[in-house]
Chains A and B, each alone.
Chain A
């Protein structure tokens, strides 16, 4: 069984960031494997351990992002493909999905796993776009996976409850970070990752599907979210502060 996991290097949302002249400035040394993708890698590893198979991770990104491929290999993935971008290029979800679709065109696999969204932009578009371009059945926001024969039983989180969905192979699943706690690579895993094969492909070789119109959205600026005015802290006798705040919610805020 062959699993592909699409992964992305993203800025750590916990790291300090600033906006200079409308540009978002982040410390590139604080880039990490997207947490949702880490859960997708973890889930593939669990399935492989139980049922056998092979895991390849695929990443689109600059040279520096190869460290993120190594991270996934250190967790236990078998090999990687690095679709190498040049610094100046900017893609949106649609064009990322087009590039990935071109990559997968001649590949054989049972399952493609993706994170359900990137933790920096939270769009959550690329997974289902890729499924549509590849004409694959898919499920998003998976919180649990099980293999039954060659079929995948996906527990997905819907609006009011969980839906159990059976997917035939080949198909695509986007993973929530609620499904597992991704493992921390062991020292042995880190050593082994250095010998695992990573295939580098220039993004220009996968641009067949891209046209002038493939980049459909662009960011025109950033601003800091206006901070909330700091409120008041109430310390003291629980009875008194509870009463006081309850009354203010009624008299001052009118929200009771």
Chain B
């Protein structure tokens, strides 16, 4: 039976919403075209993830459990995915687009002799070719793409689909896996994790992004305050991650993360196309910039022209009042 398989990304023991979006889309395609939609969890501890996954009703939840999966490392993940694909034999293997999945997508496709589509914003499959849309040219253009042959491996931009719960029994099936440390071709020496327990940027409903206009400690404090009021994730333009003011993992844009929150507030960001490529799909865009001709105003729903140091304090106060 032809089938779709969704890889469930896990961050800090929690399922990433973006992979539930992908699973929901695969469920929808399966239902429409009489296929099956399953999921795979690869982790050092699968049990809670499997339980939480059941409300999304994949036909089968496959698990591969091993202590090696505590941290992201491409060699063991590739081995596990290669094994899973050869056992399950999916026609379409779908991932949420994350740095983790981008790391292995090409190698997995090369290994499985599969067609690969990276970072699609839409996809469909009726049983023959996969058709998809991909933003290209710094997201100025949408290309329509098509695959030849099977299997097809793809990654999907976060925010492309809604998460939809689904009733129905999920079978759980563990795939035996061993990994010998000698197979590790590379060594993970250290993880420098800077984001700690803050809101996950790629999943946040509201994102505050700081740009060059945020010049000093005082400005960064205002950003933190605004983010706290709105329970928002904090991102930054390339200028501020390069200067070291913000951690590189917070960069939003063509090079960094692509986000599509309900509300995006660009503070002191001019709106270079490389930045816009990472946030243009946000539902509501607010921009604060003192240059009335800044390109960010061309895409902002609400453009506040003025000094962010003067606008943010009353803006934060008013939001506090509204939030009560």
Contacts and interface: CB of A to CB of B under 8 A. Distances in A.
Interface stretch (A43-51, A70-78, A159-167, A198-206): A159-167
Interface in A92-114: 93-94, 97
Interface in A103-130: 119-130
B46 interface: no
Interface of A: 11, 13-14, 17, 19, 24, 93-94, 97, 119-133, 137-141, 143, 153, 155, 157-168, 171, 176-178, 213, 215-225, 228-235, 238-239, 241-243, 245-250, 253, 255-256
Contact of B323 (A167, A219, A247, A256): A256
B292 interface: yes
B286 A94 contact: no
Most B Cβ at <10 Å: residue of A164, A167, A245 = A245
A216 B115 contact: yes
Contacts of B35: none
B302 A160 contact: no
Given A163-B72, A165-B187, A225 B139 contact: yes
6 contacts: A155-B192, A160-B11, A222-B136, A233-B292, A238-B306, A238-B310
B116 A132 contact: no
Nearest to A144: B248
A177 B253 CA distance: 12
B249 A162 contact: yes
Nearest to A19: B141
A128 B155 CA distance: 15
Contacts of B303: 231-234
Nearest to A123: B118
Most B Cβ at <10 Å: residue of A159, A166, A218, A221 = A159
Given A219-B145, A232-B302, A122 B106 contact: no
B146 interface: yes
B206 interface: yes
Specify the main secondary structure of chain A where it touches its partner.
mixed
B91 interface: no
B106 A129 contact: yes
Contacts of B248: 143, 157, 162, 178
A127 B74 CA distance: 13
Contacts of B27: none
Interface of B: 11-12, 71-72, 74-75, 78, 98-100, 102-111, 113-119, 131, 134-149, 185-195, 200, 202, 206, 230, 238, 241-242, 247-249, 251, 254-255, 262-263, 273-274, 280, 283-286, 292, 297-307, 310-315, 318-319, 322-323
Most B Cβ at <10 Å: residue of A14, A128, A130 = A128
Contacts of B139: 225
A178 B255 contact: yes
Given A243-B318, A253-B301, 11 more contacts: A125-B116, A128-B106, A129-B106, A161-B191, A167-B186, A216-B148, A220-B146, A234-B302, A245-B315, A249-B284, A256-B319
Contacts of A234: 302-305
Given A178-B242, A233-B305, A238 B314 contact: yes
A166 B188 CA distance: 6
Nearest to B315: A242
B144 to A, nearest CB: 4
A121 B136 contact: yes
Nearest to A181: B242
Specify the main secondary structure of chain B where it touches its partner.
mixed
B110 A164 contact: no
A222 B105 contact: no
A246 B118 contact: no
A54 B294 CA distance: 44
B192 A164 contact: yes
A239 B140 CA distance: 35
Contact of B107 (A11, A138, A246): A138
Contacts of A177: 255
Contacts of A138: 74, 107, 186
Counting from the closest, the 4 A-B pairs by CB-CB distance are A161-B193, A137-B185, A128-B106, A216-B115
Contacts of A231: 285, 297, 300-303
Most A Cβ at <10 Å: residue of B136, B143, B188 = B136
Nearest to A226: B142
Contacts of A141: 99, 102-103
Given A216-B115, A221-B143, A224-B141, A140 B255 contact: no
Contacts of B98: 159
A123 B248 CA distance: 21
A228 B189 contact: no
Contact of B314 (A93, A223, A242): A242
A39 to B, nearest CB: 10
Contact of B138 (A19, A119, A140, A222): A119
B146 A255 contact: no
Contacts of B117: 217
A124 B104 CA distance: 10
A216 B114 contact: yes
Contact of B230 (A215, A219, A242, A256): A256
Contacts of B144: 219-223
